Each structure stands twice: as C-alpha cells, then as structure tokens.
Amino acid sequence: MRGLRRELGLRDLTLFAIACIISTRWLPAAARAGPGAVTLWLLGALLLVIPLAIAVAALIVKHPGAGGLYVWTRNDFGPWHGFLAFWVYWIGIAFWFPSAAMFYMSVGLDTVSPPGAHWGESRAALLAVSLVAIWVALGTNLVGMRIGKWLENFGAAAAWGLGALLAVVAAVAWVRRGPATPMHFIARWNLSTVAFWSNIAYAMSGLEMAGMMGGEMHDPERDLPRAGWIASGFITLFYIACTISLLVLLPPGQISELNGLAQAAGAAGAATGLAWLAPLMALLVMSSAMGQFGGMGTSVSRLPFAAGADHLLPAAFARVHPRWGTPHVAVLALGGVASFLLIALQLGDTLRAAYQELVSLMVITGLLAFVYIFASAWKAGKRLSALSGWTVTLVAIACATVPTEEVTHVWLFEAKLAAGTAAVIASGWWIYRKYRAPRPSPR
C-alpha cells in the first residue's frame, strides 16, 4: 500500500517471524503440565504449525499486499467477514499485550526484588510496570521498519540465547543431581492438560503475522515460504528443549504459571553456584519480550490500516506517518485498548485469576480469526491444511473455556469469558455498520 516501505529480506523476515511466534511466557505453563507437554508441542507442530505455514505461503501469493488475514478474508468471503476476522484478531492481540506484559514484568520484578519481597506478586507494582512496558515497546515501533526490524532481530536472538542457556544449565544440573522430574512423555489428560492445549495452539501460531507485512517485503512470494519453514523448525525445537530444561530444574508442582521462569532462574543459580545466572536469564526474557512486543505491534497495526483504507474505520487509521512510514494512529489505538483492558480485567478476582482470564480471552478471540484463515486456505486448494487447522482451532477454543486451579470463582470466570467474547463480536458489528453505511452525497 502507498506509503509503506519495503525493508524486509529473508533474514529479517525469518527473525521477525521467530520474534512474533516464540514466547517464553508459555514455558512455565508447559512445564507445569509435566513432561507430557513435549508430546503436545510435537502435535501442535504437526497439526497447526505446518498447516499454517502452508496456508500463509499460499495466501500471500494469492492476495499480495499489506493487511494479511483481513485482505485474504475480504477477498474470499466479503467485506463483513474480512472486518470480523480483523476485529476479533486485533482485539485478541489487545488482550495479548496486557497478559504478556504481566508475565514478563513479573519475571523481572521477582528476579530483582529482595528476598521475601515478591514484587512480582504485587498487583499495583505489576500493573504500573506493565503499562510502562507496553508504551515503551509501542513507542519505539513508531519509527519505522528500517529501525524497528532490529528490535525484532535482537528479540529473536535473545530468545535463542535463553534457550541455549537453559539447555546448558539443565545439562549441568542433570549430571550433578539428576532431573527434578521423571521424564515420562505420555500426556496425562486432566483439566490442566486440557486447558494447556489451548495455550499450545496459541503459542505455536504467529506466522500469520509475517503475512500481514506483505507490503513491506522485498520478495514475498520467494521469501515468506522459506522464512515460514525455517521459523517453524526453530520454534518447535525451542519450546521442546526449554520445557525439558525447566522440568530438569524443578518438579511441575513447584512451577508457577506466572512466575515459573523466575523460579527456574533461582534453581539454575542454585544448581550451578553462579549467582549471576538469574539476572542474566531475566535480561534475556525481557529482551525477547521487547522483540515480541515490537513485532506483534508492527504486524497487527497493518490490519486497521488496511480496513481504514477500505473506509471501514475512521480515515486516520489509513494515514502513514510522513517521516517514519508507519500507520501511527493504528499503533496508538492498540496501546490505548491494551492499557484499558489491563486495568479493567483486574477487577473482582485474584491477580492469578485475572491473568488466566486475560489468557483465555486472548486465545478465544485470537483463534476465532483462524477459522477464516483456514477457510481461505481451503479456497486456495490447501484442503488438508485447512482441515487440520480447523480441528486444532476449534478444540483449542473449547479448551480455553476450562478454568485452571488458579481460578477461585468459576462462574465469574466463565461469565467474563462469555461477556467479553460477545462484546468483541457485537462491537465489531456496530463499528462495521456505522462505517459501512452509505454516506449522503454533498449538496
């Protein structure tokens, strides 16, 4: 689209995809589910990652340009379906930002807090630091892909540095005292495992975000398929290796979904006698988070930009900053909605339950758009990929409604999920009708 600059080659696109997909926040949840999570990671790679890579590669060729899933769905199923796909996905990422910020900032606060202080458990401290992190990451994203792509590159490198460090520390701990967890990789199907399957599906998605950058790739038809296959292999290896490493360091029952990486950092330091390991791991976690914030904020801002160009949102969303070449209004809007959700969803429950509600709403709304992605893949002739993707998506949405043990008020949890999902769809319909309605011609 006019005003966007083509800055992404194969290397940048591959690292961009890795930064968007790899999220260290899912590692404690995987380790908490036990060694069977390794089997779930493999199933996720086979049934979702590979079909999604095939689908995105086909759709970027069939429907080139910026806007990704909005453009694919609009062209295949009409403007309302295109808008709905964009809207639920965009809101899902708005939920992602506060939940991810809560996780990453909790790791940082718990690592730097004095013994016994547990700053990461403080709602006020976590809320304040999370808001700062969201706006710093989105603020740096405004200056354009020529600069911004290096943040994603650095974030992807930091994630791999963390994975390598965890693997080395776990190997040392295994040799010195043996693994903290017996390694039985057959998944045990209980409520925790069922709830975690939705996280697996969401954690291994993200390649569609690279597809939203079609207007800024040097050669999307050549580079995106290659980047997709490379990134898919990397993320599968990363998640499996890191999950096993955490289980070597700690038993599943001692791993907190919110603070598990801080616990692992402490266990790593104790196992090796190296006090600097914990702050180094925290630094790598925070660095990977900033790369992910930048990548996801960049890609998702192209959705309202494309919808604004079709006059389905206020005209300001279609504007490109004259100096930076970015859809700056779309970026600022994402930060505003994410900040509001971070504050609103703290009401009426514990901090851990609020985090779980954010995760479940994020998964449900974010994965609804995948029904459309795989429907477009079906129309593009990728039938097997579409069937596999649909199955995983629908099962993951159902699993996201299952409350975990952190939820103390089940009915409040389910009511928030139902009301939140309904509100997302209803608000999308209202906005679409408002801007889709014919405007009176000037007299």
Cα torsion for 62, 64, 67, 68, to the nearest 10°?
40
> How many CB atoms sit inside 10 A of residue 46's CB?
13
CB 286 within 8 A of CB 73: no
Rg, Å, the chain Cα set: 21
> How many CB atoms sit inside 10 A of residue 278's CB?
21
Confidence grade of residue 77 (pLDDT, cut at 50, 70, 90): very high
Tokens standing for 285? Answer: 């976690």
Cβ burial 360-374 (10 Å sphere, 16+ → b, else e):
bbbbbbbbbbbbbbb
Confidence grade of residue 294 (pLDDT, cut at 50, 70, 90): confident
Q: pLDDT tens digits for 135-149?
A: 877 777 676 666 666
Cα distance between residue 211 and residue 193, in whole Å = 31
- Share the mean pLDDT of the chain: 80
- DSSP for 342-388 reads HHHTTTTS-HHHHHHHHHHHHHHHHHHHHHHHHHHHHHTT-HHHHHH
**What's the confidence (pLDDT) of residue 240?**
93
| φ and ψ of 4, to 5 deg | -80, 145
The answer for residues whose C-beta is within 8 angstroms of residue 415's C-beta and 6 or more apart is none
Cα distance between residue 203 and residue 25, in whole Å = 9
**What's the confidence (pLDDT) of residue 366?**
82
For the chain, which domains are there? 10-436 (1.20.1740.10)
Residue 442 has pLDDT above 50, yes or no: no
Cα distance between residue 200 and residue 204, in whole Å = 6
| φ and ψ of 213, to 5 deg | -95, 20
**What's the confidence (pLDDT) of residue 87?**
92
**What's the confidence (pLDDT) of residue 443?**
37
Cα distance between residue 74 and residue 82, in whole Å = 4
**What's the confidence (pLDDT) of residue 405?**
63
**What's the confidence (pLDDT) of residue 194?**
66
Q: pLDDT tens digits for 197-253?
A: 777 888 888 888 877 776 667 677 777 788 888 888 888 999 999 999 999 988 888
| φ and ψ of 8, to 5 deg | -105, 115
Read off the pLDDT of each residue in 75-98 and give the average, rounded to a whole number: 88
Beta bridge partners of 213: 66
Read off the pLDDT of each residue in 326-341 and give the average, rounded to a whole number: 83
Cα distance between residue 48 and residue 220, in whole Å = 22
Confidence grade of residue 371 (pLDDT, cut at 50, 70, 90): very high
Residue 386 has pLDDT above 90, yes or no: yes
**What's the confidence (pLDDT) of residue 426?**
92
Read off the pLDDT of each residue in 399-424 and give the average, rounded to a whole number: 77
Cα distance between residue 307 and residue 66, in whole Å = 11
**What's the confidence (pLDDT) of residue 441?**
41
Max mean pLDDT range (93-102, 193-202, 432-441) = 93-102
Compare 188 and 200 and report the one with higher pLDDT. 200
What would the 3-class secondary structure string for 237-288 be? HHHHHHHHHHHHHCCHHHCCCCCHHHHHHHHHHHHHCCCCHHHHHHHHHHHH
Residue 383 has pLDDT above 90, yes or no: yes
Scan for tokens 């083509």, then name that residue.
6
Which of 88, 129, 132 has the alpha carbon at shortest distance from 108? 129
| pTM reported for the whole predicted model | 0.79
Share of the chain above pLDDT 70, in %: 83
Confidence grade of residue 1 (pLDDT, cut at 50, 70, 90): very low
**What's the confidence (pLDDT) of residue 24?**
83
Range with the poorest average pLDDT among 1-5, 63-67, 144-148: 1-5
Residue 271 has pLDDT above 80, yes or no: no
Compare 147 and 176 and report the one with higher pLDDT. 176
Output the CA torsion sign for 130, 280, 296, 93. Answer: negative
Return the ∠ at Cα 370 (arms to 95 and 387), rounded to 5°: 150
Cα torsion for 132, 341, 314, 64, to the nearest 10°?
80
Cα distance between residue 106 and residue 100, in whole Å = 10
Read off the pLDDT of each residue in 55-68 and give the average, rounded to a whole number: 81
CB 374 within 8 A of CB 386: yes
Confidence grade of residue 262 (pLDDT, cut at 50, 70, 90): confident
Max mean pLDDT range (128-137, 173-182, 259-268) = 173-182
